[in-house]
Amino acid sequence: MRTIIITGVSKGLGQALSKALADERTNLIGFGRTQGDFTGAFHSCDFTKPQLAASIFEQALAQAPLEESESVVFIANAGRLGLLQPAQNLDPFEIEETIAANLTQSALAASAFLKRVQPLPIPKAFLQITSGAALPERPKASWSLYCATKAGQEQLVRTIAKEQETALHPTRFVNINPGVMETAMQEQIRQTSPETFPDVERFIKLKEEGRIPTPDTIAAEIAKLLEDPSALENGKTYDLSQ
């Protein structure tokens, strides 16, 4: 059996991954506020409450029978765009919650995962689902919290990848940029006014031209990468954007 842990399993890419990866040789563990149709072991968890999320991660990972697993992979997928508004229109709760749901979630997950799997001499990987919004050349007006937290997640992963180079039983840390996918996030983007987000037309056009892949298409690509987690390149960003 292999073990795959996914955050944000109720919809979008997390739901598609849960379906693509579910089979008789996989022990699936999920985290999120809602379970949806997720069929694995589900742990209810709101990442805007970091202290609580940390103890839920810790307890769930302690219970998981990883010693019997042939490999273990954590996919930090959950995320939110947050309120798309210029910085002067963001309130402190929005700032705190979006950073917590994105960047703090990843830091907590990586730390809890490593604590648990450090001694295990099996293939281990931590996949961060990132975004083109993390790239230095792609800041987007009204997306400051999203762009900043996705950039933070990418560098968090590259930094921990460096640490793992000298670990006795290293865990591979990689970023995965899934590219644009037709999920609730895209709907939220398309509903933004051009005054708030001048680039919105580009996203509307992508949809009209049928150029946005489904999350199932991207999940299938990620499932292929996970057929052999020991072949993942530590510290690499895999660009799956289409």
Ligand X SMILES: NC(=O)c1ccc[n+]([C@@H]2O[C@H](COP(=O)([O-])OP(=O)(O)OC[C@H]3O[C@@H](n4cnc5c(N)ncnc54)[C@H](OP(=O)(O)O)[C@@H]3O)[C@@H](O)[C@H]2O)c1
Beta bridge partners of 2: 26
What is the distance between the alpha carbons of residues 83 and 69, in angstroms, rounded to a whole number?
40
**For ligand X, the closer CB: 118 or 217:** 217
Q: Is 18 in the site for ligand X (CB under 6 A)?
A: no
Cα–Cα distance for residue pair 171/114, rounded to 1 Å: 8
Question: Which residue type does 129 have?
Answer: I
Cα dihedral sign for 36, 39, 40, 42?
positive
Letters for 192-221 (x = contact with ligand X by CB under 6 A, - = none) are -----------------------x------
Q: Does 33 bind ligand X (CB under 6 A)?
A: yes
CB of 98 to ligand X, least distance (A): 9
Task: Yes or no: say if 38 and 64 are a contact pair by the CB < 8 Å rule.
Answer: no
CB of 183 to ligand X, least distance (A): 3
Looking at residues 145 to 184 of the shown chain, list those that interact with ligand X (rule: CB under 6 A). 178, 180-181, 183-184
12 contributes a contact to ligand X by CB under 6 A: yes
Q: Which of 104, 186, 192, 234 binds ligand X (CB under 6 A)?
A: 186
DSSP 43-100: EE--TTSHHHHHHHHHHHHHHS-GGG-S-EEEEE----------GGG--HHHHHHHHI
Could you tell me if 74 and 5 are in contact, meaning their C-beta atoms sit under 8 angstroms apart? yes
Binding mask 56-95 for ligand X (x = CB under 6 A): ---------------------xxxx---------------
Instruction: Using DSSP, state whether 103 is helix, strand or coil.
Output: helix
| Nearest-CB residue for ligand X | 12
Dihedral angle computed from the Cα positions of residues 55, 165, 147 and 204, in that order, rounded to the nearest 10 degrees? -100
What residues are paired with 124 via a beta bridge? 72
Candidates 18-26, 39-47, 112-120, 231-239; binding stretch for ligand X (CB under 6 A):
39-47
- Report the residue from 1, 22, 34, 194 that binds ligand X according to the rule CB under 6 A: 34
Residue closer to ligand X (CB basis): 69 or 102: 102
Give the interface segment with ligand X, choosing from 29-37, 54-62, 119-127, 137-145 (CB under 6 A): 29-37
Name the strand (E) or helix (H) holding 115.
helix 105-117
Name beta bridge partners: 29: 5, 41
Min dist CB 33 to ligand X, Å, is: 3
Residue whose CB is less far from ligand X, 26 or 140: 140
Q: Which of residues 131-150 bind ligand X (CB under 6 A)?
A: 131
> Which residues of the chain form contacts with ligand X (CB under 6 A)?
8-14, 32-34, 45-48, 77-80, 101, 129, 131, 178, 180-181, 183-186, 215
